[in-house]
Amino acid sequence: MVQNKVFMYKSVPDGWPVPGKDLTVEDIGFDEAAPPPKGGFTTKNLYATYDPSQRGRMRHETVKSYSPAMAVGKPVVSVHVLGKVLKSDTPKIKEGSTVLMMSHYTEEYSAVPESAVKSTQVIEPKPGVPLTAYLGLMGMTGMTAYGSLHEIGQPKRGDVILVSAAAGAVGQAVGQIARQEGLHVIGSVGDDKKLDFIINELGFSSGFNYKKENISDAVKRLAPDGIDIYYDNVGGELLDVALANMKDFGRIVACGTISTYNDGSNSTRYGVQNYSAVVRKRLRWQGFIVYDPTIIRWKKERDEKVAQWIADGSFKSVDYVTHGMDHAVEGFLGMLKGENLGKSILKVADSES
Amino acid sequence: MVQNKVFMYKSVPDGWPVPGKDLTVEDIGFDEAAPPPKGGFTTKNLYATYDPSQRGRMRHETVKSYSPAMAVGKPVVSVHVLGKVLKSDTPKIKEGSTVLMMSHYTEEYSAVPESAVKSTQVIEPKPGVPLTAYLGLMGMTGMTAYGSLHEIGQPKRGDVILVSAAAGAVGQAVGQIARQEGLHVIGSVGDDKKLDFIINELGFSSGFNYKKENISDAVKRLAPDGIDIYYDNVGGELLDVALANMKDFGRIVACGTISTYNDGSNSTRYGVQNYSAVVRKRLRWQGFIVYDPTIIRWKKERDEKVAQWIADGSFKSVDYVTHGMDHAVEGFLGMLKGENLGKSILKVADSES
Ligand SMILES: NC(=O)c1ccc[n+]([C@@H]2O[C@H](COP(=O)([O-])OP(=O)(O)OC[C@H]3O[C@@H](n4cnc5c(N)ncnc54)[C@H](OP(=O)(O)O)[C@@H]3O)[C@@H](O)[C@H]2O)c1
Ligand SMILES: NC(=O)c1ccc[n+]([C@@H]2O[C@H](COP(=O)([O-])OP(=O)(O)OC[C@H]3O[C@@H](n4cnc5c(N)ncnc54)[C@H](OP(=O)(O)O)[C@@H]3O)[C@@H](O)[C@H]2O)c1
């Protein structure tokens, strides 16, 4: 038996998750000598992603939503876990290969059953594309950004787009794609370091720190003629301000409402007041989940374009890495607090060998 | 000179319009002997429509919106005025014919300039279709209902549709079209007489009185499996409840937000809290104005189908008539208060001769 630390989900948080109570790190052990599951394989894991949607799955099982509630007493489910294959009982997955597992436990070692082989992707990195990009721009996050921006946002060269949580995983991908396609890109962030980052590193046209400047003033200052596309990751007050500043026939891509995710059962929620603009300005406000067929159908185009943009240097794959399973809880809470620049990743093992 | 009473717009209301101050009836006189304007015509008017959008146009000219602010000191502009032509200086409009004028002053007599000839429609009622239907189902109201329900609502046989302000002009049209196309139609109204009317006269599947029953309980009771289409005329709390009860991939047709139209400059507005459902349930929430090309393109189909449904008796053209210009202000306020069953109309002249 070797040590197998896992990021454990102990109880349903009410509001902000409490470390040590709702979330812990525990060693459940792993038998390296055991054969792989029949038709399956075993891995030593390298990376796991942190995603805000994990918070949504930490709920009572009776509350319905698009993705199932996580099971209390089991490890936290990550959207992607990247691992090296130790042993395999399936010809589809070779020993020594690098695999990307979907909706997988956050753990150091995995015994993966045959049923999960179908959703496992063998990664052969394209030249110039780092392995971690497959957790972000080339993974679910990039798919989210690319698919929804095109499917719902209908971007045209010269359009003005406002992106919220602009330095986050999805936000920086949306902003870079939009910049690449000739849009005027404005980012909203909650930190001056992030503001500097999106403008000077990612090439956004402009941005503002919503914690420092009045949001309405900032949007009017940066988009005096209004907004064609609002890419909404946060909901709340910025959504209201965006509604008030949309141009006629504008599109709101409803990707997430992260400002509401840690509302406890007793907290009062922000109410959006400017919804009359939907009629008056003929807005189209539409939600999606990355696994919807209308979003996934952009995959081939995303795979090609984004890989090329990363490889030719015009696109940054930005990772924000938490080192080691011992820090898994902090890393998760850090992402919920918005400490990350770009994609939040947990580096499960300290070495990739 | 003959008497020519007009429904006069005196000043911009703050909140609820004040009779005698913001709105009056005045005699501005009309010279029957005068020739028609060059290239234009004169009319004695029979009917004018009341529409909630008139309230939106009673605003300061500096506030931008899709339709221009009304000019203070001029008669109130009605969406449609139906008149008999007295004299004509254009071959397109014959003396004695019945004409429907768009965005026209609410007055007993009109001198219509050449510039308005293009937007004037000569009415030759189809058999079985009453003249007043051209102010409602066969006019702008019916176009609103038919175009938006199909363009945005994408109704399919068996879908569950919730219609707000269901006994109003647009609501009763939407409900009847939906019923005719095999949907399960639920109406929300603010009055028991209206409830009886939509179910027993218009053939809605069910309905509730939002002033008597808790809205959320009512919607869950009548649509236990959720709503495919919410046709929103009112905004406010019902919109919030609808969001909470939409099915995945549901559509919200944003037609109006009448509950907000008389918000004064100091009143607090209702804030919609359940907007996270747009993401989670992948809703499409879209606004329109009846004059948008995507709505107008349904005109030919509307003209044929609705005329046929009225003529064969399966569809009711419902009018709520205020008699005489002296009651113009009351009639308008009555519509804003929601006293009308069906389309609100002002009968300008007491006789049609
Ligand atoms: N629909 C889909 O299929 C789909 C797929 C993936 C992600 N999403 C959603 O997309 C959004 C972004 O995800 P992500 O992966 O980019 O997350 P991320 O990298 O963790 O970024 C989230 C950012 O949101 C901001 N934030 C956190 N709490 C906030 C609050 N209370 N109010 C306002 N901003 C707050 C923070 O940035 P600042 O410091 O700048 O505030 C934070 O860095 C989330 O809402 C997520 O649920 C949706
Ligand atoms: N987008 C477009 O192009 C377009 C075109 C035409 C109309 N519209 C909009 O469609 C809506 C309906 O118009 P309509 O011509 O059918 O009007 P209508 O016949 O005057 O009906 C309006 C009904 O709304 C209800 N109502 C009034 N005040 C309310 C309040 N504060 N809260 C909730 N309900 C209230 C009343 O019914 P209850 O007694 O049942 O409450 C009233 O009878 C309006 O919002 C209008 O602006 C939009």
- Beta strand ranges found along chain A (DSSP E): 5-9, 23-27, 41-49, 74-75, 77-88, 98-105, 109-112, 121-122, 160-163, 184-189, 206-209, 227-232, 246-254, 284-287, 319-323, 343-347
pLDDT of residue A260: 86
Least confident of A62-66, A67-71, A223-227, B169-173: A62-66
Whether the per-residue pLDDT at B67 is higher than 60: the answer is: yes
Of chain A, the percentage scoring pLDDT greater than 70 comes to 97
User: Using CA positions, which residue lies closest to atom 44 of ligand 1?
Assistant: A256
In 3-state terms chain B splits into helix, strand, coil percentages (rounded to 5) of 30, 25, 40
**How many beta-carbon pairs under 8 angstroms link A with B?**
97
| B258 φ/ψ angles, rounded to the nearest 5 degrees | -60, -25
Token code pair at residue B309: 């449904």
Q: Is B23 helix (H, G, I), strand (E, B) or coil?
A: strand
Q: Do B66 and A289 touch (CB under 8 A)?
A: no
Q: Do A65 and B280 touch (CB under 8 A)?
A: yes
pLDDT at B13 over 90: yes
Q: Does the distance separating the beta carbons of A280 and B287 come in below 8 Å?
A: yes
Residue with tokens 């060998």: A353
Note the Cα A316 to chain centre separation in Å: 15
Range 261-320 of B in CB contact (< 8 A) with A: 269-273, 275-289, 292
Out of A256, A257, A286, whose CB is closest to B283?
A286
Is the Cβ pair A282, B288 closer than 8 Å? yes
Tell me, what's the pLDDT at A265? 61
pLDDT classification of A7: cutoffs 50, 70, 90: very high
Does the pLDDT value for residue B300 go beyond 50? Answer: yes
Pair B29, B39: CB distance under 8 Å: no
Summarised one tens digit per residue, pLDDT across range B101-145 is 999 999 999 999 999 999 999 999 888 999 999 999 999 999 999
Q: What is the DSSP letter of B43?
A: E
**For residues A108-134, average pLDDT:** 94
CA distance B258 to B256: 6
Examine the pLDDT at B182 and tell me if it is beyond 50. Answer: yes
Amino acid identity, residue B293?
Answer: P
Reading the block at residue B220, the tokens are: 């869950």
What gap in Å lies between CA B241 and CA B245, rounded to an integer? 6
Q: Grade residue B80 by pLDDT with cuts at 50, 70 and 90.
A: very high
- Pick from A48-52, A274-278, A317-321, B187-191: least confident: A317-321
Query: What is the pairing mode between strands B227-232 and B160-163?
Result: parallel
Residue B352: pLDDT band (50, 70, 90) is very low
Count of CA atoms in the C-beta half-sphere (13 A) of A52: 23
Report CB contact under 8 Å: A279, B255. Answer: yes
Of A248, A255, A278, the CB nearest to B279: A255
Task: Report the separation in Å between the CA atom of A256 and the middle of ligand 1, taken as the mean of its atom positions.
Answer: 7
Q: Which of A102, A148, A212, A234 to mutate to test the pocket of ligand 1 (most atoms within 8 A of CB)?
A: A234
Q: A75: which strand partners?
A: A8
Question: How many Cβ atoms from other residues are within 10 Å of residue B312's Cβ?
Answer: 9
pLDDT at A352: 46
**Per-residue pLDDT tens digits for B44-55:** 999 999 999 999
What pLDDT does B72 receive? 97
pLDDT digits (tens, 9 = 90+) for B243-286: 999 999 999 999 999 988 766 665 678 999 999 999 999 999 99
Answer whether A119's CB lies under 8 Å from A139's CB: no
From the list B211, B225, B218, the residue with the least C-alpha distance to B241 is: B218
The whole-number average pLDDT for the span B179-188 is: 97
Taking CA atoms only, the protein residue closest to ligand 2 atom 45 is B256
- 3-state secondary structure at position B118: coil
**B183 three-state secondary structure:** coil
Q: Report whether pLDDT(A55) > 90.
A: yes
- Confidence check: pLDDT of A351 > 60: no
Whether B53 lines ligand 2, by a CB cut-off of 6 Å, is yes
When computed from its CA atoms, the radius of gyration of chain B, rounded to whole angstroms, is 21
- Please give the Cα distance from B269 to B272 (Å, whole number): 10
Average pLDDT over residues B200-221: 97
Q: Output the CA–CA distances (angstroms, integers) from residue B60 to A216, B144, B263, in the order listed.
A: 22, 26, 14
B330 has a pLDDT exceeding 90 = yes
Distance CA B242, CA B228 (A): 10
How far is the C-alpha of A259 from the C-alpha of A269, rounded, in Å? Answer: 10
Question: Residue B123 contacts by C-beta under 8 Å, 6 or more apart in sequence?
Answer: B82, B97, B98, B99, B100, B131, B134
Ligand 2, residue B258: give the atom nearest the CA: 45
Residue A353's pLDDT is: 41
Which helix (H) or strand (E) element contains residue B180? helix B169-180
**List of domains in chain B:** 5-132+318-347 (3.90.180.10), 140-309 (3.40.50.720)
Query: What integer pLDDT is reported at residue A241 of this predicted model?
Result: 98
Residue A78 reports pLDDT greater than 50: yes
pLDDT digits (tens, 9 = 90+) for B30-46: 999 999 999 999 999 99
Please report residues of A whose CB lies closer than 8 A to that of B153.
none
- Please state, in angstroms and rounded to a whole number, the distance separating the CA atoms of residues B203 and B315: 10
Chain B: nearest CA to A90, how far in angstroms? 36
**Amino acid letter, B190:** G
Does the structure show a pLDDT above 90 at A261? no
Identify the weakest region by mean pLDDT among A100-114, A221-235, B177-191, B302-316. Answer: B302-316
CA distance A261 to chain B (A): 10
Query: How high is the pLDDT of residue B268?
Result: 75
CA angle A147, A148, A154 (to 5 degrees): 100
The one-letter code for the residue type at B317 is: S
pLDDT tens, residue by residue, A143-195: 999 999 999 999 999 999 999 999 999 999 999 999 999 999 999 999 999 99
